[in-house]
Amino acid sequence: MRGKQHYWFGILLCLCFTRGDAGDVMGFDSTAQSLVVPIESALQEGLAIDWPQIERLYDSQQHRYIWHREGELSERGRLLFRWLASADLEGLDARDYHLNHLLGLIYNPSPAVIVNRELLLSDGYIKLARDLRLGRHDPQSLDPHWMLPRDDFDPVTVLAQAVAEERLQPLLDSLRPDNDGYLRLKRALARYRAIASAGGWVTVESDQTLRPGDRDPAVVLLRARLAGDLPRLEGEVSDPYHYDDALIPAVKAFQLRHGLAADGIVGSATLRSLNEPIENRIARIRANLERWRWLPHELESQHLMVNTAGFEISLINEGRVVFHKRTVNGRQERQTPSFSSRVTHLVTNPLWTVPRSIAVKDMLPRLQQDSGYLASKQIRLYGRLEGQWIEVDPHPIPWQEYHENNFPFVLKQDPGSRNSLGRIKFHMPNPHQIFLHDTPARGLFERPNRAYSSGCVRVEGAEQLAGLLIDHGQRSQSGWLRRALHSGETLIEPLSKPMPVYLTYFTNWVDPSGEIHFRPDIYQRDTALMLAIGEGVEQMTARHLGRMVNPSL
């Protein structure tokens, strides 16, 4: 790196203008030494310059200036400067793209400043283009469970093409994610920053639970806090201290948007959510905008999107949500990872071969207490005898002698009403052994926090989803699904058109109606990301920071 810096001192410190019919070309003359001070000064101020990319960029331009014309900032340069200055709108920090330094140079006509300004504009472009297209931070350094592949992207090549075709504006517009989820969340960031600039929201101070029908001074604060959710009423509220019927739907709407039990009762959890500082909300929005940038730039036009933090699944068709249901996914110690795959097969009335980790961690302790446990769950036990797997009786086995390292058995659960996979399994090849499936435990879908599985994703409305995936294909298979489900047999059918699926982790989002939703950070993945994007410790509650040390908080 130091050798590359010295190379660029040898080139950039000698740049000046030579004018001619070919335009402003980077060349050499006797005034070059006057540029040493401004460039050295800029570097000494801590500016990190991507020298290899800068070298490639100006090689592609035959060492011509890109952002200047006849010694002045060109319209192209002014366009780039405005784009760099707007980085904050994307949830990024414009200072990372040399904005503060450029502000001091942007109108300076001195020849000694031109190369410095050119360099900072180019490096700012390279960094912001890369950050918008791929994300500001490496996903796995902050979230080891995020395993979606990153796009191949070369900011220099696309800029060289855009300059040649005079299409800079379309290029800049194309770099950020162009899907509705990102754009809606970006608009929400602007709204929340406006709320913060106006002083934030009212703090609801109460040391007791507020229920419908109560009279309490805190109800005045609650009403003010939920002003946007309250119905329009004629005249003033007759009793501002009374938790009346008009306030109930406003509280329930807030609870639904924040992943709380929508009971209309303002208990400790609802009160904490009401009073979370606006700065925390802004930090979370910025963190989730970054996650959008981690996704592939162009999601396939028809795909499944599973949001494990929101416990939901959606089928998207050409930007339109055609299926949206609740999910149950991995608990804290067995988190559902984020990755992409394709649903390739439907399995009806599946036989469940119990993963070894579940067998030894979950089922063995129960067997040690009750040898009849397997029969109660319609699970068969298999042991190896003379090279063959045969079914064995679990009752005479001394289960106390077995543990995680010497467990020699395989467990299989028969198809049926008690099968943990329900009636349908959605097979999707991946190295994590994660798939989507139905479940007999449908009551779990009614709970706000649905982190109960061992990693796989249980889907509400599984039969409806299977029908939609079949309709997505080129040939009709709907008759097969109906017959297969009623047969009671384990049947496997490949989808004529596999469905892309993205498993993600978004703790806030904006729905198509414009309502913003927040969810608890069930896997404690927000904190590291919030710190990385530049949110100060003082903007995060002690509870959130405590989770970095003690995940059980």
Candidate list 98, 437, 517, 544, residue with the active-site label: 437
Q: What string of DSSP letters covers 47-116?
A: ----HHHHHHHHHHTTTB-SSEETTEE-HHHHHHHHHHHTGGGGTS-GGGGTHHHHHHHTT---HHHHHH
104 φ/ψ angles, rounded to the nearest 5 degrees: -80, -10
At residue 41, the 3 state secondary structure works out as helix
Q: What string of DSSP letters covers 434-480?
A: --EE--S-GGGGGSS--EEESSSEEETTHHHHHHHHHHHSSS--HHH
Q: What is the pLDDT of residues 412-470, one digit of tens each?
A: 999 988 899 999 999 999 999 999 999 999 999 999 999 999 999 999 999 999 999 99
**Pairing mode, if any, of strands 457-459 and 436-437?**
parallel
Q: How far apart are CA 311 and CA 372, in angstroms?
A: 34
Continuous segment of H or E residues that includes residue 131: helix 111-134
Domains of the chain with CATH codes? 2-175 (no CATH), 299-351+415-522 (2.40.440.10), 354-412 (no CATH)
Q: What is the pLDDT of residues 141-177, one digit of tens each?
A: 999 999 999 999 999 999 999 999 999 999 999 999 9
Q: What is the pLDDT of residues 185-208, one digit of tens each?
A: 999 999 999 999 999 999 999 999
Residue 553: predicted pLDDT: 33
- Count helices and strands in the chain by DSSP H and E runs: 21, 19
Reported as a pLDDT band with limits 50, 70 and 90, residue 42 is low
14 among known catalytic residues: no
Q: What is the mean pLDDT of the chain?
A: 87
Reported as a pLDDT band with limits 50, 70 and 90, residue 29 is very low
Reported as a pLDDT band with limits 50, 70 and 90, residue 39 is low
Place of tokens 């200047």: 68
CA dihedral 130, 133, 134, 137 (to 10 degrees): 60
Q: What is the pLDDT of residues 73-105, one digit of tens each?
A: 999 999 999 999 999 999 999 999 999 989 988
DSSP state of 501: E
Candidate list 145, 242, 456, 544, residue with the active-site label: 456
Q: What is the pLDDT of residues 473-495, one digit of tens each?
A: 655 666 888 899 999 999 999 99
Residue 41: predicted pLDDT: 54
CA dihedral 333, 334, 338, 343 (to 10 degrees): -170
Q: Compute CA distances 414 → 92, 353, 423, whole Å.
A: 52, 9, 11
Residue 216: predicted pLDDT: 96
Q: Which residues contact 121 (CB under 8 A, 6 or more apart)?
A: 66, 67, 77, 80, 81, 84, 98, 102
User: Which two tokens mark 390?
Assistant: 């045969």
Residue 543: predicted pLDDT: 43
User: Which two tokens mark 523?
Assistant: 């896997």
437 among known catalytic residues: yes
Cα 296 → chain centroid: 11
Continuous segment of H or E residues that includes residue 526: helix 526-532
Residue 40: predicted pLDDT: 55
Q: How confident is the model over 358-382, as a mean pLDDT?
A: 93
Query: By percentage, how much of the chain surpasses pLDDT 90?
Result: 76
Q: How confident is the model over 516-538, as a mean pLDDT?
A: 86
